[in-house]
Structure 1
Amino acid sequence: MAPFNKTGFVFSFVCAILFASLLIDSAIASETTADYDSVIVIPKVKINRLDRTMHSRGILRYKKVKENIYVIPLEAGNGTAKVAELKASGLFDLVEPDYKFSLDQVNEKKYTKIIIHSSEQNPPESNTNNIQPAPSVEAKEITPNDKGFNAQYYLRETNATKAWSTTVGSSLLVGVLDTGVDENHPDLVGKVVNDSDSSSDDLTDQIGHGTEVSGIIAANTNNNQGIAGISWNTMIFPVRVTDESGQARVSTVVSALDKAYSKGVKIVQISLSTNQFSQVLKDAVAQAQARGILVVSTSGNSGANELRYPAAFDGVIGVGAVNQSREIESYSTTGEHVALVAPGSSIYTTSLSSGYAAVSGTSFAAPQVAGAAALIWSVAPNLNSSEVRDILIKSAIDLGEAGKDPVYGYGLLNTEAAVEIAKTRQANRTAY
């Protein structure tokens, strides 16, 4: 095998990351643009009269999102006026812009503080000097043989390593609604479930975000390479909801939630957000929850005190980010939608080109909660999604003001305590 060219690898990898970061910066900047280039509608008429209704308004192209929900592309610069016109027509039960989402990663940290390694290199040691052990029931800490494990400080900080003495997870399916995934990554091979019903779906991850999120949740573990996933045996069902520029839309997320349900997904991880309220998205999330799906999302990276969606919808677990001293990160959005926090600084995980990287943002705090939820269900499969959410909240390590607060929510994720509560509940149920 040819010798590994460290300099060339790092240079090309950083260039790719810079390009991806520029795309994401553009997506964030356009999130709240006053004008819109597409709109979501729910017609009042039956499907057999839809064409006539659309054509009467000068709409010749539209795309079905799900049953009786459609997205209409609009001419540039005409969005706001068209939304008002369609609302005034009386032909639709609902008209709203097809809002854009931004990926919740910290771009400036991603390429200035990044630690890049190929699968052939040893990763760095994590600086854990400032970390205090989380209070928990005494349990044996499991140490896998993955070469990058010592760089994954967040696994110890959230007591995932102690939870592993009880369970390393089941084959439960987690939906990752993101930028796609590198299913050929050595730490993700065999962990990705494709959508076999659709040959048109391209899962290629050109940005890396979805690959990074997936590795945190369920990377191949104890395989003497790379990193450890939180739920070792869990499978990933990726749905690419972003376009080539890194933008996602309400319509693509709504459609992806339906697709995830059709594949038997129990947990949906959404590491993107918007500050724009969407009734269509709210209804889609509520439907997913009614179908038994637990939705985990980011609190957002705006650094402001504002509601971000879908985290602000009822029943969704909104996750903020803390640093290695358990202080809230400056970028982490605060507000009533924050339910939990998890480490979000320098999260070592899988990345593009079979590599590994340290990434930051609420995007990488939220998947830790999704992974913990998967561990909970592995010991208590009869729990419903509301019960799993309740366990995650009740087991959290309180930070900030006593009880729930808008900065830390209910507190820091405590995976071991959550698994122990779930195990007890399962035992109590089977005893009767």
Structure 2
Amino acid sequence: MSRKTGQHVRVWALALCAGSGLSCLHAGWASTADARLHAVSKVEQAHESTSGQQRGVGESTSLTSPTPLVAGNSGPTRGSGPGNPQVRHPDDLVNRPGELEFSGQVIVLPRTIEQIAAAHGVDHAQAQGLLDEAVAAFEARVVQRVESTGEMIVRVPAGIDDAAYCLSLRETGLFAFVTPDWLCYPVSGVDDPLFPNQWQHRALQSDRVWDITQGSDDVILAIVDTGVDAFHPDLNSVLVLPGHNSVGKSAFAPVGGAFNDVSLIGHGTRCAGLAAASANNGQGVSGLAPGVRVLAVRCTNQPSGAALLSDMLNGAEWASRSGAQIVSLSFSGVTSPSVGIRGSVLKSLGSLMFFAAGNSGAELSAAADWSDVVIVSAVDFSDARYTDSNFGQPVDVAAPGVAVLTTLPQNRYVSATGTSFAAPQAAAAAALLWSISPAISPDDVQSLLVSSAIDIFEPGRDVFSGGGRLSPLRAAQQLLSLSGEYLAPSALAFPTPGLRATFYDLTNAQIPVASDQSGSGDDSLKFMPVLSQLSAESVVISPDINYAPGALVFPQNGGPNRGVGVTFDGFVQIDSTGLKTFALSNIDSARLTIDGLLVINNDGRHDLQERTGSLRLQAGYHSIRVEYYSHNENTAVVLSTVNQAGVRTPIPASKFVRVITSLDVADIADWSGEPGRNGHIDEGDYNLFFTSFFFPNYGGQLYADVADDAGNPGPNGVVNEGDYNAFFFWYFAGL
């Protein structure tokens, strides 16, 4: 709660007095921010004064007893017991042994001075003072400052658990986030006995992808993990040497340190083998991208494989700064905001981060939907969800992660399970795209992987597989079709808002193929009719292409069982040059064409269903056509853009224009002279214009008002010589 300067509230601030078992209450009249800072300061002073030594990573201390450190809702917390009720913490501060454990450090990101000033109702100088006071309280315990993000790694005072310390800092309102520097564990599942084939390659159609590329040795894929066995015969030829050890080092540290696999289960070696084990070498297995190089970054020295989140992320940034285009991490911890902010740093450096979704079988918070991180879930050989794979809105794509055959230290092989082993395969697919098009951007790679994925659950995006199951073949094929020049925009004369929507009479509609293969008795159309061969019944101006179920009907003579055939024509504004992904969600049939190229074909009779497609476009206006057909009044068609995170946004009306043509000015009636556009310039338009020009009140509307005084297209509320000149210019131009 914040208050304007001078306004005060009664604040009771709790300061835990370490070693005494007492709770010291400080009460007084103070501004909210000052009171919170005072409380934090008391905590700092109390705990520092009782701490004779620094607390090591992974160590736990107790106020009253050696109760294990398990904060949150999963069990007792330190200090709980008779007379001291159990503390319950938010879900993002729950210690989960073997998955996410407190380390004795937290990651802190201060708010900007502007944000602090606005939140607390103070000026910038006062805001700076508040922040300086808060930082000064823990300055001596700052382990590291992360230059690229502004984060600080702070050692927790002895005698207080990580969750309570996070909460005390959060309460000040001075920090964008405060999160434990989690001790993260590799997210591998139970191993099955070795079996003699790699089913993942059949599912991913690797052999067909390899007809395009096996990967370029100019592309570097970093495995930030427990290290990689440098002597494994399937890996020794693909490793970039020397590797790196990021434990306790910043993202700018010089290369060096032991990088050989330290874990008892060979976790990093498994991940590296799935991504890029050598092919055609007469040894064991092949990775998805056997032609790329692997940079081994070891982020832990623990045989368990557990790593500090900060060491993982520093290793990831180090890899990016050392030339890796792709960085793969297969640990718990994906929901930490520090992951999202570091993913953005990597993307700004030209790299793309991949992160395993985790193996808790839990739904990830929507707040962890990081736009610059590709989060990967796991599926089995039948494209069913791996039971323990996490799911939720943040998931971007799924990949094989059950019983996938890969490398193991000491020249061995193993069948491995877990999202740990799905993530490096998605990363390898990205490496193949970079091999095809070295200049491709991380945004375009991310967009291609998501948009080309195969639907395996419900149509469109879902919480289990995101965009679908990884399809490196489809992604590569899309990239090849898009790897030429970006399509140039059109120069428009007389642009005006809206799209021209032409509705067609479906009475004599025909399709060039049989209705279906079943020979069913339903003889109504199953596919898109050839609309260009039909008669236009009506033409209207549509502001956009965003029609929810049932919203799109014939403007004339609509009714039950009336099929709809319509084309939307005009131009769409593209704000920036790049690979653009579009989504068509429709009932029955729809097609999207941009600049004369078919981008999406969502044909056939079906319920609401989505298809996506991508095109390389320069900024500016590009011609667009959407054809739509529904066999009855059950209609729906929505055209959206898809961003790098897979989020769909219907294209707003402000992005659509059409060019003024004869139909806009001179098509004012049907063939009989009755008001209403019919998509043709004919005698009916001539007759209605003359009648309305000489009798402006005819029919109660100014049908002859088609231009301004100078003859420029567009009504101006009066009928005069400008309308006469404009009508006949466009009328004869359109005949």
TM > 0.5 between the two?
yes
In structure 2, C-alpha distance between the alignment counterparts of 1:28 and 1:78, rounded to whole Å: 14
Where 1:272 maps in the other structure, the secondary structure is coil
Partner of 1:377: 434
Give the 5 Å matches for 1:12-27: none
Residue 302 in 1 paired to residue 302 in 2?
no
Check conservation: 2:288, 2:428, Cα contact below 8 A.
yes
> What SS does the aligned partner of 1:57 have?
helix
1:102 to 182, 185, 189: 185
Q: Name the SS for the 1:103 alignment partner.
A: coil
Give the CA deviation at 1:64: 1.7
> Structure 1 residues 256, 308: closer, same or farther in 2, change over 3 A?
farther
**Equivalences for 1:373-412 in 2 at 5 Å?**
373-412=430-469
Q: Summarize the Cα distance change of 1:294–1:173 in structure 2 as closer, same or farther, 3 Å threshold.
A: same
- 2:137 maps to a residue whose letter is R
Q: Identify the residue that residue 224 of structure 2 maps to in structure 1.
A: 177
Alignment of 1:337-376 (within 5 A): 337-376=394-433
With over 3 angstroms needed to count, the CA separation of the structure-2 counterparts of 1:61 and 1:362, relative to structure 1, is: same
> What is the aligned partner in structure 1 of residue 143 from structure 2?
63
- Per the alignment, residue 37 of structure 1 pairs with 104
Structure 2, unpaired ranges of 5+: 1-94, 113-131, 245-252, 489-617, 619-735
Q: Considering fraction of residues, name the structure with more strand.
A: 2
Alignment match, 2:479 = 422
Instruction: Check the 8 A contact 1:28/1:101 in 2, yes or no.
Output: no
The answer to whether structure 1 residue 249 and structure 2 residue 332 are counterparts is no
Higher share of residues assigned helix: 1
Matched with 2:208 is 162
**Cα pair distance change 1:58/1:174, threshold 3 Å:** closer
Q: What is aligned with 2:346?
A: 288
Which of 237, 256, 262 pairs up with 1:206?
A: 262
Identity %: 30
Which is further off, 337-346 or 355-364? 337-346
CA shift digits 1:183-217 (9 cap, x unpaired): 11111113222247746522121221111001111
Deviation string for 1:69-90 (max 9, x for gaps)?
3323332644344444555679
Deviates further, 240-249 or 382-391 = 240-249
Alignment root-mean-square deviation, CA: 3.0
Q: Aligned in 2, Cα 1:402/1:91: closer, same or farther, shift over 3 Å?
A: closer
Tell me the distance in 2 between the aligned counterparts of 1:309 and 1:256.
24
Structure 1, residues 114-169: CA drift from partner, whole Å, max 9, x if none? 32xxxxxxxx43xxxxxxxxxxxxxxxxxxxxxxxxx1111111111111011111
> Any conservation in 1 of the 2:330–2:420 contact (CA below 8 Å)?
yes
Q: Which TM-score applies when normalising by structure 2?
A: 0.45
The one-letter code matched in structure 2 to 1:284 is: R
Superposed displacement of residue 60, structure 1: 4.3
Q: 1:188 to 1:57 in 2, by over 3 A?
A: same
Give the distance between the partners of 1:155 and 1:96, measured in 2 at CA: 39
For each residue in 1:359-410, what CA deviation from the matched residue of structure 2 results, as whole angstroms up to 9, or x when unmatched?
0011111211111111111112221111111211222111111111112222
In 2, Cα distance between equivalents of 1:309 and 1:253: 21
> Relative to structure 2, which stretch is displaced further, 414-423 or 249-258?
249-258
Query: Per chain length, whose mean CA-contact separation is higher, i.e. which structure has more relative contact order (CA < 8 Å, sep 6+)?
Result: 1
Q: Identify if the C-alpha distance between structure 1 residues 417 and 29 changes in structure 2 by more than 3 Å, giving closer, same or farther.
A: same
Q: 2:193 aligns with which of 93, 114, 125?
A: 114
Contact 2:103 2:308 in 1 (8 A): no
TM-score if structure 1 supplies the norm length?
Answer: 0.75
Alignment partners' CA distance in 1, 2:261 and 2:159: 28
How many positions carry a matched residue from both structures? 360
| Separation in 2, partners of 1:85, 1:317 | 32
Residue aligned with 2:222, SS: strand
1:36·1:80 contact (CA, 8 Å) conserved in 2? no
CA spacing shift, 1:382–1:219, aligned 2, 3 Å: same
- Unmatched 5+ stretches in structure 1: 1-26, 46-51, 116-123, 126-150
**Deviation at residue 239 of structure 1 after TM alignment:** 1.6
Structure possessing the higher radius of gyration over alpha carbons: 2
